[in-house]
């Protein structure tokens, strides 16, 4: 294969799956999951998810410090695959979803953390309490065009929190103090009409 043909092939493949175009991206709730894990009695790990996540990100691939992220999770959508436990998590014992229907994240600072990685510092609000947390992000991925002409990217973010910091103190010693949160997100930028 000639050097020209090889260069053209590389250029075409990079344009087909290149860096995320600048602009606003919407979280695709059908392809996004907010998961958590916490120790139970110090002997096992319970995992769950919130099934309703929405939000948006502003991305500037030339300068990640201009990026931003907002996300909202519906607290009632908690799902650990055990109805009795989910009802307890929704109760005033834990999330108190009647009083605090959403968990939110609003970024304050974004910085590069190496190739393909970001650190996003922002305010996380759970149970009516707001604390600053840092999300360690893999991504965003290269952009692809879906079969309907929309641009899509993906990213995965993790952080750890202490539940007592957010006023959730029920069942100490039974439910672990540290909670690991992972968000696997797919974001969409609809095609221009």
* Cβ contacts of 169 within 8 Å, gap of 6 or more: 163
CA 29/CA 33 separation, integer angstroms = 8
Average pLDDT, integer, range 165-171: 97
Homologous superfamily in CATH for domain 3-189 = Lipid/polyisoprenoid-binding, YceI-like (2.40.128.110)
Task: Report the chain's mean pLDDT, rounded to a whole number.
Answer: 90
Instruction: For residue 64, report the phi and psi dihedrals to the nearest 5 degrees.
Output: -60, -20
Give the span between the Cα atoms of 170 and 59, in whole angstroms: 39
Check if the beta carbon of residue 103 is closer than 8 Å to that of residue 124. yes
**Is the pLDDT reported for residue 61 higher than 50?**
yes
| pLDDT (0 to 100) of residue 19 | 73
191 or 45, greater pLDDT: 45
Strand partners, 112: 118
Residue in 122, 135, 129 with CA at minimum distance from that of residue 163: 129
pLDDT at residue 193, rounded to an integer: 64
The C-alpha atoms of residue 7 and residue 19 are separated, in whole angstroms, by 18
Domain ranges of the chain: 3-189
Phi, psi of 115 (to 5 degrees): -60, 120
Q: How many helices (H) and strands (E) does the chain have?
A: 2, 12
3-state SS, one letter per residue, for 78-132: EECCCHHHHHHHHCCCCCCCCCCCEEEEEEEEEEECCCCEEEEEEEEEECCEEEE
Mean pLDDT on 25-49? 97
Q: Of the candidates 35, 53, 24, 27, which has an alpha carbon nearest to the alpha carbon of residue 186?
A: 27
Section 72-101 average pLDDT: 98
Distance CA 52, CA 175 (A): 24
């Amino acid at each position: 294969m000639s050097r020209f043909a090889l260069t053209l092939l590389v250029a075409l493949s990079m344009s087909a799956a290149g860096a995320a175009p600048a602009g606003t991206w919407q979280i695709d709730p059908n392809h996004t999951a907010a998961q958590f894990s916490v120790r139970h009695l110090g002997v096992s790990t319970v995992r769950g998810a919130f099934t309703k996540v929405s939000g948006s990100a502003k991305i500037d691939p030339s300068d990640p410090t201009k990026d931003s992220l907002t996300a909202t999770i519906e607290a009632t959508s908690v799902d650990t695959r055990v109805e009795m436990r989910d009802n307890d998590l929704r109760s005033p014992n834990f999330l108190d979803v009647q009083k605090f229907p959403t968990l939110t994240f609003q970024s304050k600072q974004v910085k590069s953390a190496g190739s393909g990685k970001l650190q996003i510092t922002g305010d996380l609000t759970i149970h009516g309490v707001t604390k600053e947390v840092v999300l360690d992000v893999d991504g965003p991925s290269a952009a692809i065009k879906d079969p309907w002409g929309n641009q899509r990217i993906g990213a995965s973010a993790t952080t750890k929190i202490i539940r007592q910091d957010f006023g959730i103190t029920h069942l100490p010693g039974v439910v672990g103090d540290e909670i690991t949160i992972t968000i696997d997100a797919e974001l969409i930028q609809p095609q221009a009409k």
